[in-house]
A = this chain, B = another copy of it.
């Protein structure tokens, strides 16, 4: 048995517009890396963290990279020790699934060191429990795509039912990360507990249309379906200049543009790298009009989940 392994897990875009809590997609980059070592002394330790500007806890009960592993070892009833070095290579609090990437990377690494007793899909619940520590709720819309790659539908949470949506065309993602802070509590409190029946009809129509468009490789249908009438109108208030940045993306040819997860990042989809880059440039211009610093990431939707490095 190998005792040490290095694993990468990707950043992810949750919700993807019309799929609040049920859609997520994985990028190729950026993402997090972990170096995981098995030891004979039981217990899970975070031995070091780099790239987090000191923001993350070394306490294994509070760090998602450790929590997912604690849950996995408990499930498998394995009494070995695990030491985790966490190398953050993506921004925290950006709406790109930073906590999910760490949780996915480490649980994938330990499962690999144990010779893959579980499938990547089976690992999702352990990473979800880590999300509960990070954001108070066991969401799957970041950890599921982080572990499986590509585009996923979480059809149901109870019981958990994760469906991989294969896309016959290559879709590129432009991420604009405005460097502002959105508190998860604010992003949640701004939502309303009820939606109108009319909104539900529109949202089910668009969600169904997006799934059909992705499976059929129909870019026009994907574009028409990338409309969120429920969440975006509320959460966009927390992002200064949101509609200017979105309009800049659409003017530059994006298939659609909305908030990544609970923000503040925006995602925009397109059909080529060059278009994705052009979209990014135009979004940056719009962002700077609001005197907000921002970073841009360009990536295809990934075709695979975590990678052993």
Tell me the bound Cα distance from A175 to B204 in angstroms: 25
User: Taking the complex as formed, is A154 at the interface, i.e. its CB lies under 8 A from any CB of chain B?
Assistant: yes
Please classify how large the interface on chain A is, using the bins under 10, 10 to 19, 20 to 34, 35 or more: 35 or more
Q: In the complex, what distance in Å separates the CA atom of A233 from the CA atom of B220? A: 35
Q: How far is the CA of A261 from the CA of B105 in the complex (A)?
A: 46
Is A221 engaged at the interface, CB distance under 8 Å to the other chain? yes
Instruction: Name the B residues within 8 Å of A196 (CB-CB).
Output: 193-195
Q: Which chain A residues in 14-63 approach chain B with CB under 8 Å?
A: 18-23
| Of A3-11, A82-90, A210-218, A280-288, the one touching chain B | A210-218
Other-chain contact of A208, B22, B197, B200 (Cβ < 8 Å):
B22
Q: From A66-74, A155-163, A235-243, A265-273, give the one contacting chain B.
A: A155-163
Q: Roughly how many angstroms separate A102 CA and B261 CA in the complex, as a whole number?
A: 46
- A175–B209 Cα gap in the complex (Å)? 27
CA distance A200 to B18 in the complex (A): 11
A190 proximal to B (CB < 8 A): no
B-chain residues with CB within 8 Å of residue A195 when the two chains form the complex: 194-197, 200
A206 engages B156 (CB within 8 Å): yes
Q: In the complex, A154→B224 CA distance in Å?
A: 12
User: Is A230 on the interface with B (CB-CB < 8 A)?
Assistant: yes
A200 touches B200 (CB 8 A): yes
Asked whether, in the complex, the Cβ of A204 is within 8 Å of the Cβ of B204, the reply is yes
Residues in chain B near residue A165, CB distance under 8 A: 212
User: Which residues on A are within 8 Å of B, measured CB to CB?
Assistant: 18-23, 153-156, 161, 163, 165, 191-197, 199-212, 215-216, 221, 224-225, 230
